[in-house]
Amino acid sequence: MIILKGAAVAARIQEEIEAQLKELREEGLDRTPRLAIVRVGERPDDLSYERGALKRMEKCGLEARVYAFPNEISREEFENAFQEINRDDGIDGILLFRPLPKHIEEKRIMEIMDPAKDLDGICPVNIAKVFSGDASGFAPCTAEAVVEVLKANNIAISGKRTVIVGRSMVVGRPLSMLLLKENATVTICHTRTADLAGTCRGAEILVAAAGKAKMLDASFVGQGAVVIDVGINVDEEGNLCGDVDFASLDGAASMATPVPGGVGAVTTSVLAKHLVKAVRQRR
């Protein structure tokens, strides 16, 4: 079984970013593209993603600033602060950690965010673009990272039976649209799917995005399938693991992404790529 490592894909995306930045500079860009990371509270998952994003931005020659607010911030105060960031001409893109605390109306923030700065594809305009196959918008970074992993490894998508386990607006649904755009034949599974194992076994490309530690083992994998694991979970021993029982795959899957070191490692690279895209589109 070939292990599809995220680092190699991230390195390729970084090269692409560097070439695009060079081009932008030659066209007269005289400042470094800047990302605003907006966080309310201190959830460990957010902090860990934030550290990864800051590192990635620096590696790619991009700038990032964290705007952190306490959980107790009032709805009005947060909306005002967010609008200031949103309207700041020196900020090219925004990453907003969600869910926001209950007293802040997330829907309203998604509606006021400038779609041109919405690097993680949460605004209605960007969601609509992903669903209509319009590549001018921004797709959620994790969903796009899955497509990047497949493409970077020359895995044919067109015409392939592709099964996604998970139908969230962050991963499953947008990913199904991105894969459909690549002409895959897509099936989406969820908790009401009648024969999950059988459906998964029919996949040539199987994507796990359920958020359940090691729930898919070799019995869910058809012979020679490509398995992409989006899940980030903690197992009984406290170790990071995916939705797939990776150790069981040998002999079943032809290729698979590990956790950690798979899709997760590509997500921040897609974020960096989106920042450069935002700058290009604004010019």
Give the nearer residue to ligand NDP in terms of CB position, either 31 or 190.
190
Give the footprint of ligand NDP on residues 264-283 (CB under 6 A): 264, 267
**Residue corresponding to tokens 């970084």:** 14
Query: In this structure, are residues 56 and 33 in contact, taking their beta carbons and an 8 Å threshold?
Result: no
Distance, CA of 173 to CA of 215 (rounded, Å):
20
Asked whether position 6 contacts ligand NDP by CB under 6 A, the answer is no
Query: In this structure, are residues 208 and 227 in contact, taking their beta carbons and an 8 Å threshold?
Result: yes
The one segment of 13-21, 111-119, 159-167, 249-257 that binds ligand NDP by CB under 6 A: 159-167
Asked whether position 172 contacts ligand NDP by CB under 6 A, the answer is yes
Number of residues that bind ligand NDP (CB under 6 A): 26
On the 0-12 / 13-18 / 19+ scale of CB atoms within 10 A, 42 is exposed
The angle that helices 264-282 and 6-26 make with each other, rounded to 10 degrees, is 10
Asked whether position 34 contacts ligand NDP by CB under 6 A, the answer is no
Asked whether position 212 contacts ligand NDP by CB under 6 A, the answer is yes
Binding ligand NDP by CB under 6 A: which of 64, 189, 205, 207? Answer: 189
The Cβ of residue 208 has, within 10 Å, a number of other Cβ atoms equal to: 29
- Name residues whose C-beta falls within 8 Å of residue 75's C-beta, 6 or more positions apart in sequence: 103, 104, 105
Give the nearer residue to ligand NDP in terms of CB position, either 21 or 95.
95
Query: In this structure, are residues 147 and 112 in contact, taking their beta carbons and an 8 Å threshold?
Result: no
Asked whether position 219 contacts ligand NDP by CB under 6 A, the answer is no
Distance, CA of 167 to CA of 165 (rounded, Å):
7
Asked whether position 21 contacts ligand NDP by CB under 6 A, the answer is no
Query: In this structure, are residues 245 and 212 in contact, taking their beta carbons and an 8 Å threshold?
Result: no
Give the nearer residue to ligand NDP in terms of CB position, either 21 or 209.
209
CB of residue 80 to ligand NDP, shortest distance in Å? 28
Binding ligand NDP by CB under 6 A: which of 48, 191, 239, 281? Answer: 191
CB of residue 74 to ligand NDP, shortest distance in Å? 27
Asked whether position 25 contacts ligand NDP by CB under 6 A, the answer is no
The one segment of 9-17, 114-122, 197-205, 259-267 that binds ligand NDP by CB under 6 A: 259-267
DSSP line for 67-129: EEE-TT--HHHHHHHHHHHHH-TT--EEEE-SSPPTTS-HHHHHHHS-GGGBTT--SHHHHHH
Give the nearer residue to ligand NDP in terms of CB position, either 99 or 159.
99
Binding site for ligand NDP (CB under 6 A): 142, 165-168, 170-172, 189-193, 196, 209-212, 215, 230-233, 263-264, 267
